[in-house]
Structure 1
Amino acid sequence: MAAALYNGLKVLTSYHRKGGVGKTFFASTLAYLLATGGPDKKGKKRRVLILDYDSQQDTSKAFLAMVSIPGEDEYMPPVHPEFGEIDDPDWGGTNTSSDILFDNPVYEYPTAHDNIAILPSEGNVDRVSALSAQADELEVNISRYMRDWFEKSGIHEDYDVVIVDNPPSKTPVSAGLMGAATHVMIPTEVNRDAIDGATLLLDRIDKINDDRDVPLEVVGIFPNMVPSPSRLSVKDKVGLQWLYNPDNRTSNYMADFFIQRRECYRVFERPSMDPSHFSFVHNFHAQAEMNKLYNHVVDSMWGEQ
């Protein structure tokens, strides 16, 4: 049903309320996998647009030569290589994903990969919260702005899927962005805090779907950074058992595999201005994990493997 939105464009957000669970890793890795046809490069190559809204800017720094700001703990995007100077009084030569929310001109940045473009994070997306003192009102407005942009900007002609790296928080910004997506993937660790966050996120998705004709679809909950079987602690085992317990609602969305090795896919240089900077480590188990992730997402979103 989600394909009925946005002229068939898919919008996949990677989200969890807790930071450090692998949200950015999943977003950037899947962007690469979908654009290149999976680990074996034999799948369909999809045109991907990344929207980075995470203030950490890690996805942006992986794909663009972001410019450090002296005395600040954030980066600014480089001058756009194709639209650096154009006859537009509202255009300053650079773009961030927040420009969508402020009705500014938007020109996506090309990357070293033919099928991947990006709108980087500004590094301070929470300033959007100053637009309204009412959290519920701001959340609704952000969802509306994003939906209008997905629907009317014509980007469905240039891309097959938009991947959103959501900020790890429960602010109106993150909730508003998720409310405009067609699909959501939920990486989680197996500790109690992360599990609770995943459960609360499912409740939030139910609330979002109460107001939608086309529901936000959960691609899956993905246990991440799971120790090898020989190193699983008692707490790890209890956490996994809880997630997959049929009596708990998380069980309906659990992937049938774990991600054990985050290092199975590395950006060897930042920024990755050459495709060779992205590479899988030479580890059969690591590549097998990425193959399972790729197949799961493609099957869930497009009904194919």
Structure 2
Amino acid sequence: MGKTFLASTIAYLLATGGPDGKGVKRRVLVLDYDSQQDSSKAFLKMDAIPGDDEYAAPLHPEVDEIVDPEWSGRNTSTDILFDSPVYEYPTAFENIQVLPSEGNVDRVLSMTPQTASLAPTITTYMRTWFSDPELANDYDIVIVDNPPSKSPVSAGILGAATHVIIPTEPEYDSIDGVPMLLNRIARINEERPDHPLEIVGVVPNKVPSKSRLTQKDEVALAKLYDRNGPTGKYMSRFWLQQRNCYRVMERPSVDESHFNYVHNHHALKEMQKLYELVESSLWGNEI
């Protein structure tokens, strides 16, 4: 639906000061918890595992400089949940660091034999980690690429997050999932009324151009934007249509030329709107 695309693109936009580079350059940490590992591969050269469809975290480039007998020299985002030493990976972008996905979720599932308690356990670990003063000193924002919303890992991380942005495609399977996710967020906020999880917006993604917009697409979008419906008040005032311009040309990305949208003026307009949405929601900046 666009989770990885939004996570990696918003990280790039915030770190570089927006499409024109004139905004505040934020210090960004990307946590990849999606088993597909796409955010990890977008910024790091992951190590292929022979005979497996998953990738291993690379050896940390500062392994010879960091003295820590308990550290293996490699890290994934899952290490946060096991109180393991964690050292974020630098990327080719000065203001972006990454903790890659482990890929396999077996280690996370082993945290507790009680499935129902897995999400609350993850929430507890993540809240503790997010509250570390050193993290606030090092970064302006932590962006999490979550797994699918129905997973315990996703629910656990949402329970510890401060803001959420929800991508959806104009297809019935996708848009039907948005109200369910909003209901989950409402349940989370019942347990944390003083610090509610704020919805930055629901962003339609992969929307066809006007000439290719089918009746089904129009019906789906009308349902999303219905002011009397469950999603209407959360909808962004823009769509992401220039999807072909956003595909990362090379992985890992090492310079802005790998983000295709920088060469397309239509896509640049959409990226400006996305950037403004995030900046205004998180920092109150009117751009």
If asked which structure has higher relative contact order (CA below 8 Å, sep 6+), I would say: 1
Cα deviation 1:238-268 (Å, max 9, x = unaligned):
1010011111020010001111112333422
Q: Name 1:159's counterpart in structure 2.
A: 139
Q: Name 2:202's counterpart in structure 1.
A: 221
The correspondence of residues 142-291 of structure 1 with structure 2, limited to 5 A, is 142-152=122-132, 154-212=134-192, 213-291=194-272
Query: Is 2:121 aligned against 1:141?
Result: yes
Equivalent position amino acid for 2:77 in 1: S
Task: Tell me: CA distance 1:126–1:187, structure 2 relative to 1, closer, same or farther (3 Å).
Answer: farther
Flag as ranges the 4+ runs of structure 1 deviating above 6 A.
Answer: none
Q: Name 2:273's counterpart in structure 1.
A: 292
Equivalent position amino acid for 2:277 in 1: H
Query: Is 2:90 aligned against 1:110?
Result: yes
The offset of 1:63, in angstroms, is 0.5
Task: Tell me: CA distance 1:275–1:230, structure 2 relative to 1, closer, same or farther (3 Å).
Answer: closer
- Shifted more, 62-71 versus 270-279: the winner is 270-279
Indicate the SS of the match to 1:248.
Answer: coil
Q: Name 1:13's counterpart in structure 2.
A: none
Aligned partners of 1:185 and 1:221 also within 8 Å = yes
Task: Tell me: CA distance 1:275–1:111, structure 2 relative to 1, closer, same or farther (3 Å).
Answer: farther
Aligned mates of 2:43, 2:244 — CA distance in 1: 18
Indicate the SS of the match to 1:131.
Answer: coil
Aligned partners of 2:256 and 2:262 also within 8 Å = no
Query: Is 2:51 aligned against 1:71?
Result: yes
The offset of 1:234, in angstroms, is 1.1
Task: Tell me: CA distance 1:71–1:116, structure 2 relative to 1, closer, same or farther (3 Å).
Answer: same
Indicate the SS of the match to 2:110.
Answer: helix
> Between Structure 1 and Structure 2, how many residues are aligned?
285
Task: Tell me: CA distance 1:258–1:71, structure 2 relative to 1, closer, same or farther (3 Å).
Answer: same
TM (norm. structure 2) is 0.95
Aligned mates of 1:148, 1:100 — CA distance in 2: 10
The offset of 1:125, in angstroms, is 2.9
The offset of 1:228, in angstroms, is 1.0
Task: Tell me: CA distance 1:191–1:110, structure 2 relative to 1, closer, same or farther (3 Å).
Answer: same
Which stretches in structure 2 are left out of the alignment for 5+ residues?
none
Q: Name 1:18's counterpart in structure 2.
A: none
Which stretches in structure 1 are left out of the alignment for 5+ residues?
1-20
Q: Name 1:101's counterpart in structure 2.
A: 81
Cα deviation 1:40-74 (Å, max 9, x = unaligned):
11111100000000111111111111000001111
- Among candidates 37, 47, 62, match of residue 82 of structure 1: 62
The offset of 1:283, in angstroms, is 1.9
Aligned partners of 2:149 and 2:181 also within 8 Å = no
Q: Percent identity?
A: 63
The offset of 1:172, in angstroms, is 1.2
Equivalent position amino acid for 1:265 in 2: Y
Equivalent position amino acid for 2:145 in 1: D
Indicate the SS of the match to 1:71.
Answer: coil
Aligned partners of 2:76 and 2:102 also within 8 Å = yes
TM (norm. structure 1) is 0.90
- Shifted more, 127-136 versus 247-256: the winner is 127-136
Equivalent position amino acid for 1:138 in 2: L
Equivalent position amino acid for 1:173 in 2: V
Aligned partners of 1:85 and 1:93 also within 8 Å = no
Aligned mates of 2:29, 2:168 — CA distance in 1: 24
- Shifted more, 121-130 versus 101-110: the winner is 121-130
Aligned mates of 1:273, 1:237 — CA distance in 2: 38
Aligned partners of 2:30 and 2:142 also within 8 Å = yes
